[in-house]
């Protein structure tokens, strides 16, 4: 029963399998790829399902501060609770890279519902930090 619930599906990104067909993934790997797909898709990106995805992409020009980290964590939790019923989201922690100020690491800790298997996934998210006026112009709509 648990294997049917967890499932088997096409690998993402789409790839060729060992026999020349579509590459398939199953079990926990399928869940991990589904989480990455939810987080990597901006709402409105899919014409036939415009509400699918995660709102973190609205923060590409946001400053690297704790308020942004909190909003990103909220969007991640909301999206995964809505779009990935096979997991229970435990904690979402957002950390900023010490060297590259435009990189955030989103650490999602979750439990696979049918097996009670606790796992985590770190998803890198890239922002465009304010520098040389480029980010500021984009953030204010390009007004002078």
CATH for 84:
3.10.450.40
pLDDT of residue 14: 56
Could you report the per-residue pLDDT of 15-27, keeping only the tens digit for each? 666 776 666 666 6
In a domain? residue 143: no
What is the overall mean pLDDT for the chain?
Answer: 82
In a domain? residue 35: yes
Domain of residue 117 covers 2-135
Q: Does 31 score more than 50 pLDDT?
A: yes
In a domain? residue 142: no
In a domain? residue 141: no
DSSP-derived secondary structure for 12-70:
SS--B-TTSSB-EEEHHHHHHHHHHHHHH--TTSSTTSTT-S-GGGGGTTS-SSHHHHH
In a domain? residue 140: no
pLDDT of residue 2: 47
* Residue of 128, 91, 88 lying closest to 106 (CA atoms): 91
In a domain? residue 78: yes
pTM of the full predicted structure? 0.76
Mean pLDDT value across residues 131-144: 49
Angle CA 47–52–57, to nearest 5: 100
In a domain? residue 97: yes
In a domain? residue 144: no
Higher pLDDT residue, 102 or 72?
72
Q: How many domains is the chain partitioned into structurally? A: 1
């Amino acid at each position: 029963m648990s294997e049917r619930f967890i499932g088997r599906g096409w690998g993402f990104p789409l790839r060729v399998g060992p026999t020349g067909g579509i590459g398939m993934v199953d079990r926990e790997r399928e869940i991990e790829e589904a989480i990455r797909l939810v987080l990597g898709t901006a709402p409105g990106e899919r014409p036939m399902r415009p509400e699918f995805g995660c709102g973190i992409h609205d923060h590409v020009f946001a400053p690297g501060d704790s308020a942004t980290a909190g909003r990103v964590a909220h969007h991640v939790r909301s999206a995964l609770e809505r779009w990935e019923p096979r997991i229970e989201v435990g904690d979402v922690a957002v950390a900023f890279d010490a060297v590259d100020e435009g990189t955030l690491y989103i650490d999602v800790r979750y439990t696979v519902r049918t097996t009670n298997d606790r796992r985590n996934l770190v998803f890198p998210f890239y922002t465009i930090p304010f520098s040389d006026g480029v980010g500021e112009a984009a953030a204010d709509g390009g007004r002078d």
